[in-house]
Amino acid sequence: MDDDRLYDALTSCEGALPLEAAQECLRRLDRLAPRFVALCKDPESWHRLDCGHWAVLHAWLILGASGREEFGSALFWGACYLIPLDFYRRVWFVGDSTMAGFAVSFLDILAEAASDHRRGVAFENCATVILGVALVRRPERRRERAEALLRVFRNPATASHTRSLALGFIVESGESWATESLLRDSELERETLNEIRYRIDRHRENPIDRSDPVPALRFYSEEEQARRNTSIQRHRESMAGEIAPTLNRPLDAAAHATLRRFEQTLSDLPAEAASGAVLAARWLLASEATFGDPLLSYSHGRLEWLMHRLVYRRNEVEKSRDFDFWDAIERFHKFLATDRPPAPPTFPWQPLIAALRCRYGSRAGF
């Protein structure tokens, strides 16, 4: 298999990329690295991951598995894009522990960003766990890791849960200079100092035996593949079920009339394609009954929420190979723009639908 076909396999295999393919990418990394790095630094590639395009995650994991320090920046930007995604917690269960085993350069960049509250609580929590596991289980730069967690703990803007995580790892690390510096900190409240003493005593009595960082290529093990497939199937069923009450709402007389007029515009389509287009239109009209607003006035957030759930039922629309789900959505939108009295929408539909079409392609979510 040449390099181009191997690279294409990162997309075509989706979440089932064989371990052997990932290992082969590692062997050819000198040649593939420029493409992998560019992919990891591209935010749109990460947006597409939530829509079922796996290539960027595979590229990022392979860079992480290499242990090479020159990839620290690409790994960091990948982590920044990945952590907020719905995908991260639903599909990958040991992500924080895996990143704790990445190159030291990645951990150094992460340490500087860990207490940057502009990145959100989810990022702070993950960064704290990653640095904590690295502090407890890796020998490199332990003082720097502990200092980063001390900054997280001492920052008054840090969420209480994140501070508790940071303190736990500091205590577990056995770095006595770090705990002693906290106990000498005159700016800490008495209640906080008591909590620190309690955590130290508890650790002495019941030390936690932390596992080593998880190797990045474990992602491709049969066990992880099976867990991931189960989680993905549950997620798909959840998303389809979440939208079901909206789609099953009865239409009023005006909506039925709109649907009949739309159906009359589909004479150029084969019967199966027309039937799919009518079904998609019916779903959209049913959403009006749920939200209580006209479709063309939907906000960006509302329409995106709706589309990210409807797409999981796209197979019900795509009864014809020549007419897909996004064609149906676009066609009904254009019809409504002429069928209803002019009313400027809150935002233009077409750019969002075009972006989602690009992200999902023929996929029905991850």
122, 185: one domain? yes
- Within a domain: residue 9? yes
110, 237: one domain? no
Q: Which of 181, 198, 217 is the last residue in one of the domains?
A: 217
202, 314: one domain? no
268, 331: one domain? yes
Q: Count H helices, E strands: the chain? A: 20, 0
- Confidence (pLDDT) at 365: 63
Distance of CA 110 to CAs 65, 140, 242, 258, Å?
A: 17, 15, 36, 54
Q: What is the DSSP string of 30-52?
A: HHHHHHHHHHHT-HHHHHHHTTT
Instruction: Please state the pTM of the whole predicted model.
Output: 0.81
Neighbouring residues of 15: CB distance < 8 A, sequence distance ≥ 6: 54, 91, 225, 228, 229, 232, 366
- Within a domain: residue 365? no
61, 199: one domain? yes
- Within a domain: residue 60? yes
- Confidence (pLDDT) at 247: 87
- Within a domain: residue 366? no
Distance of alpha carbon 186 from alpha carbon 102, whole angstroms: 36
- Confidence (pLDDT) at 58: 95
- Within a domain: residue 105? yes
331, 264: one domain? yes
193, 296: one domain? no
Q: Which residues of 10-40 are buried (b: 16+ CB within 10 A; e: fewer)?
A: bbeebbebeeebbebbbeebeebbeebbebb
135, 240: one domain? no
- Within a domain: residue 49? yes
Distance of alpha carbon 323 from alpha carbon 257, whole angstroms: 24
Q: Which of 166, 198, 217 is the last residue in one of the domains?
A: 217
- Within a domain: residue 293? yes
- Confidence (pLDDT) at 49: 83
Distance of alpha carbon 177 from alpha carbon 173, whole angstroms: 11
- Within a domain: residue 157? yes
Q: Which of 217, 242, 274 is the last residue in one of the domains?
A: 217
Instruction: Identify which of 71, 164, 136 has the alpha carbon closest to the alpha carbon of residue 109.
Output: 71
Query: For the chain, what is the domain count?
Result: 2
Distance of alpha carbon 286 from alpha carbon 31, whole angstroms: 51
Q: What is the DSSP string of 108-157?
A: HHHHHHTT-GGG-HHHHHHHHHHHHHHHHH--TTHHHHHHHHHHHHH-TT
Residue 179, domain CATH: 1.25.10
327, 189: one domain? no
321, 292: one domain? yes
202, 278: one domain? no
Matching residue, tokens 């990210």: 308
**pLDDT tens sequence for the chain (366 residues):** 788 999 999 988 888 899 999 999 999 999 999 999 999 999 989 888 877 788 999 999 999 999 999 999 999 999 999 888 877 776 777 788 889 999 999 999 999 998 888 888 888 999 999 999 999 989 889 999 999 999 999 988 888 889 899 999 999 888 889 988 888 888 888 888 888 898 888 877 776 666 788 889 999 998 888 888 888 888 888 888 888 898 889 999 999 999 999 999 999 988 888 999 999 999 999 999 888 888 888 888 888 889 988 988 888 888 766 678 898 999 998 898 888 876 555 557 888 888 888 888 776 666
Work out the number of other CB atoms within 10 angstroms of the CB of residue 147. Answer: 16
Tokens of 16: 């089932």
Domain limits at 253?
221-360
203, 269: one domain? no
Show the beta-strand stretches assigned E in 175-245.
none
